[in-house]
A = this chain, B = another copy of it.
Amino acid sequence: MRVAIIGGDKRMLFAARAFCDKGADVSVAGFDGLERFSGIGIMEPSEAAAWADNIVLPLPCVKDGRIVAPFSERAILPHELLSDIGEKRVFCGMKERLTPTRCRVYDYASREDFAYRNAILTAEGAIQTAMSRYEGSIFGCRALVLGMGRIGRVLSQDLSALHADVTVAARKESDRAYVEALGMTAADYSLREKYDYDLIFNTVPAMVLPADVLSRTDERTVIIDLASAPGGVDFDYARRRSLTAVHALSLPGRCAPAAAGRIIQETIINIIKEEDGEKEDNRLCDDGVVLHL
């Protein structure tokens, strides 16, 4: 199995190493300064694409019409790279950004196994950010988590495990009931109360902390916004009121690039196994044998 990792940041180098550790032949492209890397081949992008059976692109794969490659001076253009690769498999994050192509493209970032494991890294990055910005301790602090999606679930339970006093705000009644079954406090987004917390983490991609709410938070509160741009905090207002509000983006790649890279690699392996497994399943089905509940 030949894998080419093309573009991306540090995290993709760790993905390359993870493939290598599992016995794959690996090459990387799009890292200009890189001269040697753990015995992994370094190629030109087009050369790597021609050489490999499996092409791995970063998350997100494309921005401003180019493959995302912060360590490369030259532009890597998706249509040039993928125009002539035939039946090769392409793995990327945010597949919708690759203009229609005839390749077999798989989006690792849209999968549940990727998303939850990435959420774990985001939650740890959020805790690291809180620890470095907040002058108190997680133990015993009053923390509010906005949202009970993947990140909200993992983050709130991590904080609770470290003995914070956690409140989770969730819109759905079933989520709030689950929060209480986990021994935490549930809240809705009602604006009536004072926001009396040491730490506020937002995971909701909507304006959930507008000026109106921020005006009622304590001035010592540290706010960490994990929602992708533009986030859910009125940062202008926060600045005017001298509140500590951090927009913490891309935490997995920044705080735990090795783990983030390994997750990409493992998700791709899962995709390949499922594809091959499904083929096998289909074969078995011909014999009328496959039984799933």
Contacts and interface: CB of A to CB of B under 8 A. Distances in A.
Interface residues of A, number: 57
Interface in A148-167: 150, 153-154, 157-158, 161-163
Contacts of A182: 157
Contacts of A119: 181
Nearest to A141: B259
A47 interface: no
Given A137-B124, A139-B124, A182-B157, A115 B256 contact: no
Interface string A184-227: 00001111000000000000001010001000000000000000
Contact of A120 (B111, B137, B189): B137
B174 A14 contact: no
A292 B162 CA distance: 31
A1 interface: no
Contacts of A120: 137, 139, 181
Contacts of A176: 112-113
Interface string A53-95: 0000000000000000000000000000000000000000000
A289 to B, nearest CB: 10
Q: In terms of DSSP, what is the predominant structure of the interface of chain A? A: helix
16 contacts: A111-B173, A112-B173, A113-B180, A116-B178, A117-B177, A121-B137, A131-B256, A135-B259, A136-B256, A136-B259, A139-B183, A158-B162, A161-B162, A189-B292, A190-B292, A191-B293
Copies of this polypeptide in the complex: 4
A292 B191 contact: yes
Given A132-B128, A139-B124, A162-B124, A173 B258 contact: no
B115 A177 contact: yes
